[in-house]
Amino acid sequence: MTKAKAAKNSVVLRVEDLSKSFGPTRAVVDVSLDFRAGEIHGLIGENGSGKSTLMSMVAGIHTRDKGRMFKDNQAYDPVSPAHANEQGVSMVVQELGLIDDLTVTENIFLGKTDRFSSRGVMNLGKMRAAAEKAFADWGIAQVPLDVFAKSLTVEEKKLVELVRALSSNPDVLILDEITAAFSHNNRTVLYELLAKLKAQGKLILFVSHNLSEILSLCDRITVLKDGEKVTTLDAEGATEDELKRLMVGREVKETYFYTPAKLDKAEPVLKVDGITLDGVLRNVSFELRRGEVLGLGGLSDSGIHELGKVLFGLTKPDQGQIIFAETGERIDSLRKAIDTGIAYVPKDRDTEALMVRATIEDNLVLPSTDSFVGRLGFMSPRKRKAFAQEQLRVFEIKASGIRQAVNQLSGGNRQKVSLASWLSRPNKILILDSPTRGVDVGITANIYKLIAEVKGQGIGIILISDELPELIGCSDRILIMKNGEVAKIFERAEGFSEHRIVQVMI
């Protein structure tokens, strides 16, 4: 992708001394930046560094406590996302931003339905046709338009949010961790789209924890730490190690803490036989062995994320069975999966993993509730509190305390709560779906180290991921799915090749 050339003197957006606090937490502190037309400007930093809050002020989601903003050299003061949209600024937020009980079409044109109304009567056919055209115009794979948003996958929801943001043809597009939800094929589509928008002179503000992606896509990169601007630098000539050092304040080595598993002697811990789910999975069979990491990869329609739900008993298959090998017991329900010692960290943390309006403590203790009950059958508040505080410390969750509500946390810190709640239990099998989604480099390394430690305890791990480097770095074997079927299982002994794996995927 070519870098922007004639952008130096074309400042389309400027922020001066922006600050925002949430209670005692200073989320953004006196940040001043300029952004240029025809550039992709990356924003990076650890979880809680202020990236999302800063972009939310630009998009009219949060009001600033102090500071000024200018767009096209005019004062810019959005009071809502709709107001920002009217002035040419659209944002795809990090967390899921659709209304579950509205259809895809209704979500795309939420707040903009007047154009489809005549004399108080809504022309739903016209609105649906416009939604269909929007997907086609931007070259984005269309999702079902007449279904409720709650029935979509995380990836489909993000595609809808992207189309919604583009539907007003904004000149400033903010994307907050969007690729963390995408598989290989949809990332490729997005990258091509961003190149077109950039060529049209649009400004793209791109937030991501994927430093390789940041370096390949962006013209300039701004680093934030503890709500403050560290520096802005040109992407050309920068390195991942340099960015990590600026973000964290110390050297961060790229490592997956991989240790070989002795699979030739390992007994199966889980047997999956002929799992079929109408239109999604077809005759899926494999074994998970003790002390191995089995990676699951594939494109957006491969079925890897749906398979995770089936294995944990959240979705009942039409055919096939899942057997806990130690006892021969069939796993056919959520209750049985939990009782057997299976833990599951889902990709969609806000909907499926967390009670976002409850406290951190309530979320952390939920999967382990039985362990806090005394001989008389009463819950011990002291044990609960001590447990929650220990997980807050171990997982380095940035919060004011265990009584803080989860919806007040950054996306990465929410993911840490989701992980901590399950990984702190005594487990026999771990199913991890995108465990490092939206998580910074420091805690990502901690998660990889934890996976290695758990593996060393003889626990079988299924790692579902859209990140090929993650699968290659962590896995003993990689199972690639295509169109709901097992396409190939790669053995580490053969040597993992990213090129070969992608060829099987597509």
Name residues whose C-beta falls within 8 Å of residue 119's C-beta, 6 or more positions apart in sequence.
none
The overall pTM is greater than 0.85: no
Q: Give the integer Cα–Cα distance in Å for 251 and 247.
A: 10
Q: Are residues 335 and 273 in the same domain?
A: yes
141 within some domain: no
Alpha-carbon distance of 48 to 96, in angstroms, equals 18
Q: Is residue 134 part of a domain?
A: no
Handedness of CA 445, 447, 451, 457 (dihedral sign): positive
pLDDT confidence of residue 266: 76
Query: What phi and psi, each to the nearest 5 degrees, are found at residue 490?
Result: -95, 135
Q: Are 435 and 498 within one domain?
A: yes
Q: Which of 193, 222, 248 is the last residue of a domain?
A: 248
Please report the pLDDT score of residue 6 as a whole number.
39
Same-domain status, 301 and 414: no
Return the DSSP state at 486: E
Instruction: Show the tokens assigned to 471.
Output: 């699968």
* Mean of all residue pLDDT scores within the chain: 90
Q: Of 219, 248, 277, at which residue does a domain stop?
A: 248
CATH code of 431's domain: 3.40.50.300
Per the structure block, which two tokens stand in for 51? Answer: 């990236």
Residue at 337 is within a domain: yes
Residue 264's pLDDT band (cuts 50, 70, 90): low
CB of 161 closer than 8 Å to CB of 102: no
Residue-level pLDDT at 24: 75
What does the alpha-carbon distance between residue 398 and residue 409 come to, in Å, rounded to a whole number? 8
pLDDT band at 423 (very low <50, low <70, confident <90, very high): confident
**Together in a domain, 436 and 417:** no
Res 277 pLDDT > 50:
yes
Give yes or no for a contact between 466 and 438, defined as CB atoms under 8 angstroms apart.
no
- Both 412 and 433 in a single domain? no
**If 0-12 CB within 10 Å is exposed, 13-18 middle and 19+ buried, where does residue 402 land?**
buried
Domain shared by 317 and 389, yes or no? no
Cβ atoms of 47 and 57 within 8 Å: the answer is no
Q: Are 328 and 450 members of one domain? A: yes
Same domain, 331 and 456: yes
Mean pLDDT of 240-249: 88
Which of 228, 248, 268 terminates a domain? The answer is: 248
Question: Whose structure tokens read 């010692």?
Answer: 341
Are 50 and 189 within one domain?
yes
Give the torsion sign (CA, 215, 217, 220, 223). Answer: negative
pLDDT of residue 80 exceeding 60:
yes
Is 450 found in the same domain as 466? Answer: yes
Q: For residue range 127-168, what is the model confidence (pLDDT) as tens digits?
A: 999 999 999 999 998 899 999 999 998 899 999 999 999 998
DSSP state letters, 399-459 = SS-TTSBGGGS-HHHHHHHHHHHHHTS--SEEEEESTTTT--HHHHHHHHHHHHHHHHTT-
One-letter amino acid of 10? S
Position 390 in a domain:
yes
Give the pLDDT confidence score for residue 3 in this predicted structure: 44
Domain assignment present for residue 116? The answer is: no
Range of the structural domain that residue 381 is part of = 355-426
Residue 222 has a pLDDT of 97
Assigned domain for 348 exists: no
Is 101 within 8 Å of 65 (Cβ atoms)?
A: no
Same domain, 404 and 490: no
Q: Say how many domains are in the chain.
A: 3
Q: Does residue 410 belong to any structural domain of this protein?
A: yes
- 68 strand-pairing partners: 16
What pLDDT, on a 0 to 100 scale, did the predictor assign at position 446? 80
Contact predicate 458/427, CB 8 Å: no
Please check whether residue 335 is in contact with residue 399, taking contact to mean a CB–CB distance below 8 angstroms: no
Both 238 and 273 in a single domain? no
- The C-alpha atoms of residue 147 and residue 380 are separated, in whole angstroms, by 44
User: What pLDDT is attached to residue 41?
Assistant: 98
In a domain, residue 104? The reply is no
